Structure 1
Amino acid sequence: MAKIRKLAALAIAGALALSVAGCASAQGAPSGGASSGKGGTLTYWSMWKEGEAQQKVLASAIADFTKETGITVDVQWQGRDSVKKVVPTLNTNKVPDLIDSSFAKLAPVLAGTGQAKALTDAYGATVDGKKAGSLIPKAYLANDVITRKGESAPWMLPYSLTSDAIWFNAATHPELTAKAPSDWNGFVAELDKLKAANEVPIAIDGDVSGYNAYWYTAAIVHLAGPGSLKKISDDKTGKAWDKPEALKAAQMVQQLAAGGYFISGYNASKWPAQQQAWADNKAALIFNGTWIPTETQPYAAKGFQYSSFPFPTVGSNGKKVARADFIGFAVPAKAKNSANAQKFASFFLKKKYQDALGTDAKILPVRSDAATSSEMSTVKAALDSTHSFYVQNDGITSPGYAEKLLWPALDQLVLGKTTAEQFVANMKAGQIDYWKQNS
């Protein structure tokens, strides 16, 4: 669950974590720059933990990279708090050369504060006979979400994607495999059919704010297009919340909460209770990320067959868009071995490792020609047929906006504690206060 945290909070948490984790030992080593030939070193702090499938693929790539280039990689498997741990090092001589995480975690810490290098060398490197930058589908980069204004090269090099989908068990619901609802009205009609058959339509862990927010974000970008929610959030007057699509998206969420489509007890249970219930066939659908098959497999019902369909379009002129969040590499501005770091970042885009991410780690590789697992096949097909994409929170990176303002308001909406009109009014007033305090 990717979350953008307020920078000050990150620094405090990172300082505490760093005292336990220790600092990289190779920071003072000579740089292995682009003109230095073979040899050198780099320090890499990874978001993965030892033993995870993603870590094993990266470890294999590191071994191959060192053998091929002579560059030693001092890797520390930090886990999901890797970005927190980096924050207190950014203005020191102990900053790692390379880090990886989700866009949502890296953007406010590195890009938003000018602490990331533009990865010109990484994008220009040759990988499998092609420029590394050309291996990332252009549609994913169309909105320049990973390029700072005035720069020609992005600050982040993605190596995998996360997306979302409405998941179901194809073994118990073959009718959804044959014909899934494509628009909102058809989706609601399908929910009514499930209720009529005494099935619970949707499982949702209501205590996970990020999951609650998926519904509204997906609704508004399908109504108004990618970047629409971010544009609203940037309006310091709050008047952007008067746009009709802001209310319409909230009404769609209210329709689900008021219609009794969510699983009983979703507003009082603790994660992962409801996704476990879904995997045990106690609910038909769940709107969640591409990690759901891996997370729920240990307790899924016997014979469970993972399948999915995209969030439905809205109205006769509904927009077909999909969420495609990046996980990838970034190089801190003060990295001493940035050239070597960029070399490894591009090296990991080789099809050998992209295929392994798809089949062994069962995640979505960023390369469109990479292999994927059967569990990801429906999501991959949806992404391949879509040419307009958005990222988590529609690209909002203003520190604390999502956690302190947007998500709490959406929690109240999803939990049925406020109406769509109240949600919009609360966001408008809250946003005015937010920008007064953060301008």
Structure 2
Amino acid sequence: MKLLAGMVGVGLLLSGCSATQGGGDKSTVVYWSQFNKGEPLQLVIQDMIDQFESENPDMIIEANWAGRDVLTKLQGAVQAGTPVDIVDQSNDRILTAVVDNDLAVKLDDYLQEPSYGKTSGAWLDDFTPGSLEAFATSDGTYMIPRESYISGMWYNVDLLQDAGIEPSAAGTTWDEFLEDLDTLATKYPDVSPLGADASIDFYNNWWFSYLAIRVAGLEAFQNAAHDPTGEAWKQPEFLKAAEMLRDLQDKGYFQDDYQGSVYPAMQAEWANSKVALFLNGAWIPNEVGPQAPVDFKMDVFAFPNVDGGRGNDLVEYWSNAWAVLNIGKQSDAAVEFLQFATSPDKGGKMLTDAGFPIPLKGAATPAAFAGQDEILASYMTMEQRGGLQGEAAYSTDVYNLCDDPFFVGTTTPEEFISCLAAEGATYWDSNPQ
């Protein structure tokens, strides 16, 4: 079952037309990326580009490492008529900024073509079952997933084992979770059972999102967010979810300074055994790994289920993805590069060798992501924050506006719910559906 259903830098780029170098014509594919130079994935993708160009001397991949606001910068390119052939970002952001604005090339016909270097078969058959469909729309496929991730509770394996705690990847209950936190607090008084960097709004809202979905169910959560009156937020299930989070905070499970902790300070504490667990995405092994001791062991288990909850056994699933843009001039060449980048023995192997989880059949699972595979094998998938992560305006003007002060403890659960209701009504009054 599948529940898965923004003017700069143009001088840095070559146009999408053919360029002449060394006396010959070369097709130049213009690629704008969310990564900055020096980031782990930027380095891998640059290696892909170098190898692809070596194998295809008639092609150039002109990369602009634009950073996380690449889609905002892309708006300037659209307005200026600047050709861009490929863009990457998280699937939810590409959906709202690119696909929903009719800027993406539909890829279904390309996916029926043979994979890179092959003469038979179909490119789509290289992907794990459901991975393309998870990020497709009702009328087709506009994104190619690169790394695929879940979110969950990341933990220090040795610390928990020493406390007699060995979580299973799937199926942990809220009551078991609370017992484990109490055990950790008792056995290790100098270690925080939970950690958080409260400087990031979309990290903060993870907690209430999961709890609200676990208790009330995904449909009720989505309906509340889209209720034009805001009154649906006042259902008792949402107050219960807020009270469950406040209970964790009142018990002192989070580190003492979590309200003022600036990313990635807490993650460094976790890597140095000052924090036992924290809720985050499955980029953590590659993000935290370089700063952790060589013998540090990490793993992940799914966000706990709630007894009697209507949204148990659901896990967020998303991808950093590529889209081919219809404002470019080299769609065929752009697709050929993406076929190379997702070839199991070309770009795919480069990604897995670098320790990233990818949705390709037969791809090796990096050891740190074994828990992710176990969770995906038995849980249904949903979009980030039940779909709200992709609704940037609502998240900013309503959800995070109310959640941030609640998460740091300056408002009560009741005030938080009242804020969601009131701000939701104001938002939908100004933005009718």
**When the two structures are superposed, what TM-score results if normalisation uses the length of structure 2?**
0.85
Cα separation, 2, equivalents of 1:428 and 1:368: 44
Q: 1:48 touches 1:77 (CA, 8 Å); kept in 2? A: yes
Q: For residue 26 of structure 1, what is the amino acid of its counterpart?
A: S
Displacement after TM superposition at 1:271 (Å): 2.1
Q: 1:123 touches 1:157 (CA, 8 Å); kept in 2? A: no
Q: 1:354 touches 1:366 (CA, 8 Å); kept in 2? A: no
Cα separation, 2, equivalents of 1:242 and 1:90: 42
Cα separation, 2, equivalents of 1:237 and 1:342: 45
Q: 2:394 touches 2:427 (CA, 8 Å); kept in 1? A: yes
DSSP-derived class of the 1:90 partner: helix
- The equivalent of 1:76 in structure 2 is 64
1:382 maps onto 2:379 in alignment: no
Equivalent residue for 1:398, pick from 384, 391, 394: 391
DSSP-derived class of the 2:29 partner: strand
Structure 1 pair 49–372 and aligned structure 2 pair: CA distance change class (3 A): farther
Equivalent residue for 2:358, pick from 361, 365, 369: 365
Q: For residue 120 of structure 1, what is the amino acid of its counterpart?
A: D
Displacement after TM superposition at 1:325 (Å): 1.3
Q: 2:29 touches 2:333 (CA, 8 Å); kept in 1? A: yes
1:35-434 alignment to 2 at 5 Å?
40-66=27-53, 67-68=55-56, 70-127=58-115, 130-140=121-131, 145-147=135-137, 149=138, 151=139, 153-174=140-161, 175-177=164-166, 182-197=172-187, 198=189, 199-226=191-218, 228-301=220-293, 303-316=295-308, 319-352=312-345, 353-360=347-354, 362-386=355-379, 388-396=380-388, 397-434=390-427
Structure 1 pair 44–420 and aligned structure 2 pair: CA distance change class (3 A): same
How far does the alpha carbon of each residue in 1:265-315 deviate from its partner, in whole angstroms, 9 at most, with x for none?
111232222222221111211111222233333433462111221111111
Structure 1 pair 69–121 and aligned structure 2 pair: CA distance change class (3 A): farther
Q: 2:348 touches 2:358 (CA, 8 Å); kept in 1? A: yes
Cα separation, 2, equivalents of 1:227 and 1:364: 29
Name the stretch that deviates more: 133-142 or 364-373.
Answer: 133-142
Cα separation, 2, equivalents of 1:261 and 1:114: 46
Cα separation, 1, equivalents of 2:195 and 2:269: 7
Q: 1:228 touches 1:394 (CA, 8 Å); kept in 2? A: no
Q: 2:397 touches 2:423 (CA, 8 Å); kept in 1? A: no
Cα separation, 2, equivalents of 1:225 and 1:366: 27
DSSP-derived class of the 1:96 partner: coil
Q: Which runs of 4+ in 1 moved over 6 A?
A: none
- The equivalent of 2:13 in structure 1 is 24
Displacement after TM superposition at 1:46 (Å): 2.0
Displacement after TM superposition at 1:138 (Å): 4.2
Cα separation, 1, equivalents of 2:259 and 2:17: 51
Cα separation, 1, equivalents of 2:375 and 2:319: 16
Structure 1 pair 61–141 and aligned structure 2 pair: CA distance change class (3 A): closer
Q: 1:203 touches 1:262 (CA, 8 Å); kept in 2? A: yes
Cα separation, 2, equivalents of 1:423 and 1:138: 40
In the alignment, structure 1 segments of 5+ residues that lack a partner are 1-9, 31-37
Cα separation, 2, equivalents of 1:133 and 1:241: 41
Q: For residue 154 of structure 2, what is the amino acid of its counterpart?
A: W
Cα separation, 2, equivalents of 1:242 and 1:381: 35
Displacement after TM superposition at 1:421 (Å): 2.6
In the alignment, structure 2 segments of 5+ residues that lack a partner are 1-5, 20-24
Cα separation, 1, equivalents of 2:374 and 2:168: 15
Q: For residue 59 of structure 1, what is the amino acid of its counterpart?
A: Q
Cα separation, 2, equivalents of 1:22 and 1:240: 49
CA RMSD of aligned residues (A): 2.7
Q: For residue 28 of structure 1, what is the amino acid of its counterpart?
A: C
DSSP-derived class of the 1:167 partner: strand
DSSP-derived class of the 2:146 partner: strand
Aligned residues: 410
Q: 1:183 touches 1:313 (CA, 8 Å); kept in 2? A: yes
Q: 1:226 touches 1:389 (CA, 8 Å); kept in 2? A: no
DSSP-derived class of the 1:84 partner: helix
Cα separation, 2, equivalents of 1:217 and 1:301: 32
Structure 1 pair 354–222 and aligned structure 2 pair: CA distance change class (3 A): farther
How far does the alpha carbon of each residue in 1:131-185 deviate from its partner, in whole angstroms, 9 at most, with x for none?
333444444466x6541x4x2x222111111322211221222233365770111
Cα separation, 1, equivalents of 2:73 and 2:209: 29
